[in-house]
Amino acid sequence: MYIKQPQEVETIIEGGRLMGEILDELAGMVAPGVSAFDIDKKAEELIIKVGGRPAFKGYRTRISEPPFPSTICASVNDEVVHGIASKEKILNEGDIFTIDIGMQYPKKGGYFTDTAVTVPVGSVDEHTMQLLNVTKKSLFKGIEQATVGNTVADIGAAIQKYVDPQGYGIVRDLVGHGVGHAVHEEPRVPNYYDKEREAWELKPGVVIAIEPMLTMGTREVVTAEDGWTILTRDGSLSAHFEHTIVITEDGPVIATQRPSEK
């Protein structure tokens, strides 16, 4: 588990604050008729303006893969994560739109933060809004457990305990992760109880991204032909909320908290 030093934590918190402000501005752009490409273009502009570098654009897990083409992951409706922000992806009334965004701050030799929000496009029905509300609340259920002496397993257990009785699917093929020195670090942070995660004790200076992904149907997912976009296997709606969290002696610090959440 990567322990960050106090100076590193300070930079992560500063970058996270900027990331939260940027995500709020991008979420405010979401409306019927807007393209994901327009939001993506604005995202890159804002990240560069504050002295950061987009963490996702050009990202690849192995050299044989094509680099990710967008600054944001732009996922609509049954797209769980990693949707590409194309000009053809136009938002329609009643859609839900997930903006997942990461930044290295400062842009050279800096530290990474990662955050996401799912936003209704115009008006959505009450069942869809409930999915968004439950997913967001499940994130904070997980954050409550991100305390010194707890384990990564406690985070997943709290999310699952809250979500399961409400009947939503918890995606298992995708999980949260450590973050800071790189976009993705150890430990894996599942959104369900995993006994193996009991070995990962949370200590001051640990930085993790907690990111529940819930669906209205199956928890099973598939990868689209573009090689990046992950969709629900049954076409059901999916929501995704994420924050970068710093473990401290005084409790969890939400580095990427948005101004609208305060």
Q: Is residue 1 part of a domain?
A: no
**Structural domains counted in the chain:** 1
Cα→Cα distances 37→24, 69, 215, 229, Å? 17, 11, 25, 15
Nearest-angstrom CA–CA distance, 229 and 125 = 25
pTM: 0.97
Segment 219-233, tens digit of pLDDT: 999 999 999 999 999
CATH code of the domain covering residue 112: 3.90.230.10
Structure token pair of residue 173: 């093929």
At 87 the pLDDT is: 97
Asked whether residue 41 is assigned to any structural domain, the reply reads yes
Residue 232 lies in a domain: yes
The set of residues, in sequence order, having a beta carbon less than 8 Å from that of 242 and lying 6+ positions away, is 100, 114, 115, 116, 117, 139, 176, 209, 210, 211, 256
Residue 219 belongs to a domain: yes
For 66, what's the count of Cα atoms within 13 Å in the CB-facing half-sphere? 9
Quote the domain boundaries for residue 74: 6-261
Mean pLDDT lowest for which of 14-23, 34-43, 64-73, 240-249? Answer: 64-73
Per residue in 50-66, pLDDT tens?
999 999 999 988 888 88
